[in-house]
A and B are shown apart, each in its own frame.
Chain A
Amino acid sequence: MDESPPPPPDDAPDTQTPPPPRTIHTGSPTDFLKGVVGKKVIVRLNSGVDYRGVLSCLDGYMNIALEQTEEHVEGNVTNRYGDAFIRGNNVLYISAAEEL
C-alpha cells in the first residue's frame, strides 16, 4: 500500500532537454542529396576551398555539376564559373545554402 507519488512522466517538460530543432529532417543521405538538387549549396573540398552555386546534379561518385558557381578561398571570391564539374573525390561535404 505504498502511496508515494508516481514519478513524473518521461515526456514532462523540463529544462534539462533542449527543445527539438525547428525542422526535423528524417531520411537517408541519399534523400538529402535528392532534396538539394536544384537548390543553392556550398560544396567544400578537402583543400578547404568552397564552391557556392546551384546544384544541377550529382552521381554515385559524388561528381557534381554546379551552375552559377562562385569559388571562395578564405572568404574571398576567387573565381566565377557559369557551369562547373567537380570530381567527386575532392568533395568534403555538401551543405544546403537555402531552405529545403
Chain B
Amino acid sequence: MDGSSSGIQEPFDLIRLSLSERVFVKLRGDREMTGILHAYDGHMNLILSDVEETIMIVNEGEQATVSVAKRKMDMLFVRGDGVILVSPPSRT
C-alpha cells in the first residue's frame, strides 16, 4: 500500500521491530549511543541497557578540534524529546 517493501505502515513499526535489538540513537547535544532497546513509548522515551554513549566535544580556539568522550551505563532511561534519530540493526 505504501510502496515500502518491508511491511512498515507507520514509523513506530521500525522501533517496534527493534525491541530486544541493539539500536543506534542520535541525540541532541552531539551525543550518540548504542544499546539494547527494551521499551519505548509515543514520545520516544526509551529504555536501553548495555549502553555506550559517545559525546562529541568541540574545543573552541585557534583551531577548533573535536574530542570524543565515551561512557558506559548498564540501564538507561532516555527522555524522548532529546531523540533525533533511531536506527535499528540492519535487517536483511
Interface residues of A (CB under 8 A from B): 37-39, 45, 47, 51, 56-59, 63-65, 67, 69, 81-87, 89-90
Contact = CB atoms under 8 A, between A and B. Distances in A.
Q: Which 6 A-B pairs have the closest CB atoms?
A: A38-B3, A82-B90, A81-B87, A65-B11, A63-B11, A56-B4
Interface residues of B, number: 24
A83 B4 contact: no
A83 B12 contact: no
B75 to A, nearest CB: 22
A59 B12 contact: yes
B90 A83 contact: yes
A38 B6 CA distance: 11
Given A83-B90, A85-B86, A87-B80, A56 B6 contact: yes
Main secondary structure of the interface of B (DSSP, over half): mixed
Interface string B1-15: 011101011111111
Given A51-B85, A63-B12, 7 more contacts: A56-B6, A57-B11, A59-B11, A67-B6, A69-B87, A87-B83, A87-B85
Contacts of B88: 82-83, 85
B9 A86 contact: no
Most-contacted residue by chain A among B6, B11, B81 (CB, 10 A)? B11
Main secondary structure of the interface of A (DSSP, over half): strand
A47 B11 CA distance: 21
A89 B86 CA distance: 14
B54 to A, nearest CB: 12
Contacts of A57: 2, 4, 8-11, 13
A82 B8 contact: no
